[in-house]
Amino acid sequence: MKKLLATTSMALALTLAACSSPASPGSQATPGAAQGETKKVTMWMYPVIADSAKSQAFWGQAEKDFEAANAGIDLVIEQQPWDNRDEKLATAIASGKGPDLVVLGPDQLPQYQASGGLASLKKAYEGQEDKFLKSAVEAATVDGDVYAVPIYHTITTTVYNKKAFDAAGVTELPTTWDQVKAAAPKLAAQGVSIMDYSGDAKMTLNLSFYPLLWQAGGSVFAEDGRSVAFNSPEGKETLQFLVDLQKVGGLPADAATKGNKVEGGGLSTGKTAMGYALVKPEADIMIKALGEDAVVVGEPLKNKEQVAFGLPGLLTRTSISKDEASAATVAKFFSSAEFAPTLSKASGYFSARQDVKPDSADKVGAKFAEALAFAKAGEINSKARQVMASLQPHIQSALQGAKTVDAALADAEAEANAVLKG
């Protein structure tokens, strides 16, 4: 009973928040305030720089640099963990104590926009309208209004453990689905699964099923976004590809439920020969574990299409912020051509600007940068996450052999369409 009441207490907190004044402490700036008054902007940053100490130092310095260049704004960068980010952010916005700016992904942004949690950030593009990757700006735009500016861009691509392929007598690294299927039994005979797949219920499908679906020429949503389109020949081909690989030992035995941790996982212990949706820091872990000679960074896998998931980090203005001008000044600074290379170097990610080129000295990074040409930032829909949650368990069922491919996708389609209509 206590726990139940605690749960309902949260509900009251939300109700009280609804009744509270719309003014927020997160935004100290008052429109029309006297000139010379310092305006406070709070920004939530996540561990895009994986090393905690380096991250603290980097953003601490960034805060000082910004304030030195913008005397009228008191910037507070609060570092947050990735874990439970939506719970914290949603609660913070609902209670009026959230940040003015926060980094969101393309699948989060429309959901927060639909829930009234965002405000326009169009001013951040003044003077730099055409400087960013078009796909990144599209990801920041909902119904014609832009709510964020991209400050970095991740990209995934295929990374191979060449030694595992050599040991199985596969001399040419597979770059297409057909080649993966052909090589899978040879590696399985050596006790190695050719490809990694992470079906964990907590995983985003953007890093597991969707890239393969896009490579097959399919899409998650119909063009109007009101129904799903994954129960298609392309969707069936994708799931069949995974099921067939599973049957011949081409995927890890626990592919239906495992997470995507590279450190200590099959990709770094030699039990799995390739990952098709890895980011650069994960390739670095493989290199550290297997040696530089063993790891090859390739292009995104190809079937009908050659596509890779790449995620722009969107510095987004929340509805807490009442001062667009100050928020835009901060957003401009962190998305500038001057700041982008510094962040790229520290994080291992890439700039979302077209006028910033990757560091040519970093060979692994350069291979990842090439994959940016194939980047797809997910499919934008305010219910993208709910649809993902509908599809995920049915993929697990198919991989565990509890459902056929047709039944799994048909069930998922019915469930997801009900979500979209609701």
- For another protein, the closer CB: 76 or 114: 114
Q: Which stretch binds another protein (CB under 8 A): 210-218, 296-304, 370-378, 383-391?
A: 383-391
Go through the chain and tell me how many residues it has.
Answer: 422
Q: Does 94 bind another protein (CB under 8 A)?
A: yes
Q: Does 393 bind another protein (CB under 8 A)?
A: yes
Q: Which stretch binds another protein (CB under 8 A): 89-97, 190-198, 322-330, 350-358?
A: 89-97
Q: Does 407 bind another protein (CB under 8 A)?
A: no
**Nearest-angstrom CA–CA distance, 158 and 195:** 10
**Nearest-angstrom CA–CA distance, 259 and 197:** 8
Q: What is the 3-state secondary structure (H, E, C) of the chain?
A: CHHHHHHHHHHHHHHHHHHCCCCCCCCCCCCCCCCCCCEEEEEEECCCCCCHHHHHHHHHHHHHHHHHHCCCEEEEEEECCCCCHHHHHHHHHHCCCCCCEEEECCCCHHHHHHCCCECCCHHHHCCCCCCECHHHHHHCEECCEECEEEEEECCCEEEEEHHHHHHCCCCCCCCEHHHHHHHHHHHHHCCCEEECCCCCCCCCHHHCHHHHHHHCCCCCECCCCCCECCCCHHHHHHHHHHHHHHHCCCCCCCCCCCCCCCCCCHHHHCCEEEEEEECHHHHHHHHHHHCCCCEEECCCCECCCECEECCEEEEEEECCCCCHHHHHHHHHHHCCCCHHHHHHHHHCCECCECCCCCCCCCHHHHHHHHHHHHEECCCCCCCHHHHHHHHHHHHHHHHCCCCCHHHHHHHHHHHHHHHHHC
Q: Which stretch binds another protein (CB under 8 A): 111-119, 148-156, 240-248, 332-340?
A: 111-119
Q: Which of 7, 35, 171, 360 binds another protein (CB under 8 A)?
A: 7
- For another protein, the closer CB: 11 or 34: 11
What is the footprint of another protein within residues 49-88 (CB under 8 A)? Answer: 84, 86-87
Q: Which stretch binds another protein (CB under 8 A): 37-45, 238-246, 254-262, 306-314?
A: 254-262
What is the footprint of another protein within residues 30-49 (CB under 8 A)? Answer: none
Instruction: Give the shortest CB-253-to-another protein separation in angstroms.
Output: 7
Q: Which of 272, 394, 405, 420 binds another protein (CB under 8 A)?
A: 394
| Contact status, residue 236 vs residue 216, Cβ threshold 8 Å | no
Which pair of structure tokens corresponds to residue 304?
């009908």
Q: Does 294 bind another protein (CB under 8 A)?
A: no
CA angle 193, 199, 200 (to 5 degrees): 125
Q: Does 337 bind another protein (CB under 8 A)?
A: no
What is the footprint of another protein within residues 147-206 (CB under 8 A)? Answer: 199-202
Instruction: Give the shortest CB-94-to-another protein separation in angstroms.
Output: 5
Q: Which residue has the tokens 């939530």?
A: 44
Q: Does 421 bind another protein (CB under 8 A)?
A: no
Q: Does 11 bind another protein (CB under 8 A)?
A: yes
Instruction: Give the shortest CB-395-to-another protein separation in angstroms.
Output: 9
- For another protein, the closer CB: 57 or 418: 418
Q: Which residue has the tokens 């960034």?
A: 62
Q: Does 380 bind another protein (CB under 8 A)?
A: no
- For another protein, the closer CB: 10 or 325: 10
What is the footprint of another protein within residues 257-286 (CB under 8 A)? Answer: 257
Instruction: Give the shortest CB-52-to-another protein separation in angstroms.
Output: 19
Q: Which stretch binds another protein (CB under 8 A): 167-175, 279-287, 307-315, 385-393?
A: 385-393
Residue 240, judged by CB atoms within 10 A of its CB (0-12, 13-18, 19+), counts as middle
Q: Does 15 bind another protein (CB under 8 A)?
A: yes
- For another protein, the closer CB: 296 or 420: 420
Q: Which residue has the tokens 């050599």?
A: 166
Q: Which of 79, 389, 410, 417 binds another protein (CB under 8 A)?
A: 389
- For another protein, the closer CB: 96 or 298: 96
Q: Does 249 bind another protein (CB under 8 A)?
A: no
| Contact status, residue 182 vs residue 339, Cβ threshold 8 Å | no
- For another protein, the closer CB: 20 or 176: 20
Instruction: Give the shortest CB-207-to-another protein separation in angstroms.
Output: 15
Summarize as ranges the residues that interact with another protein (CB under 8 A): 1, 3-5, 7-18, 20, 22, 84, 86-87, 90, 93-94, 96, 111-112, 114-117, 199-202, 253-254, 256-257, 319, 383, 385-386, 389-390, 392-394, 396-397, 400, 402, 415, 418, 422
